[in-house]
Structure 1
């Protein structure tokens, strides 16, 4: 079971993407816990995740989050803007899985 956290401004725009990612994981036969939080809540969940994906609108958090996650060995990336905008759950899931290899 892998745990993937998505972070956006309010945690709402990524909730549809989470649903699409969950569907893509199910189709691949993967067990994954995928959830979205607002940027203000992100720090509360850093000990429970395997990977963190930032929504394009909060890419400015990348440097600060890397400082917190690198010592824990947790990968982080900004979600591709096109995949995010088109809500391509399968592509974003693949991005998360690639980071965890």
Structure 2
């Protein structure tokens, strides 16, 4: 599974990527997680299975959902609490859940 995290600048989310990678279990198979700034969303969307938006850009969900639907990629928002506390396990689970829908 390939997970795309999108945030304002891509920096703070890189810490989250590292924590999420540590939560991946062998039975999950290959999981690739990448963080990009919102300006790079469109050029990356077609390469991923699911997109999660950081809370600071949740206002972009509606326009980004339109683009994601063209690529059949589910999209969701990370809650402020999960993001702020770097709750990697829970965020990873939400990505898995979005793909299963």
Same fold (TM over 0.5): yes
* Aligned mates of 1:40, 1:74 — CA distance in 2: 18
Q: Does 1:24 align with 2:13?
A: no
Question: TM-score, normalized by length of structure 2?
Answer: 0.93
| Alignment match, 1:88 | 87
**Gaps in structure 2 of 5+ consecutive residues:** none
Other-structure match for 2:47: 48
1:33 aligned partner: 32
CA shift digits 1:18-46 (9 cap, x unpaired) = 00110001xx2122000100011111101
Please state how far the C-alpha of 1:81 moved relative to its aligned partner. 1.2
CA distance in 2, matches of 1:17, 1:90: 10
The Cα RMSD (Å) is 0.8
- Which TM-score applies when normalising by structure 1? 0.93
Structure 1 stretches lacking a partner, 5+ long:
none
Number of aligned residue pairs: give it: 98
1:17 Cα deviation after fit: 0.3
Question: What secondary structure sits across from 1:7 in the alignment?
Answer: strand
1:65-80 matches, within 5 Å, as 65-80=64-79
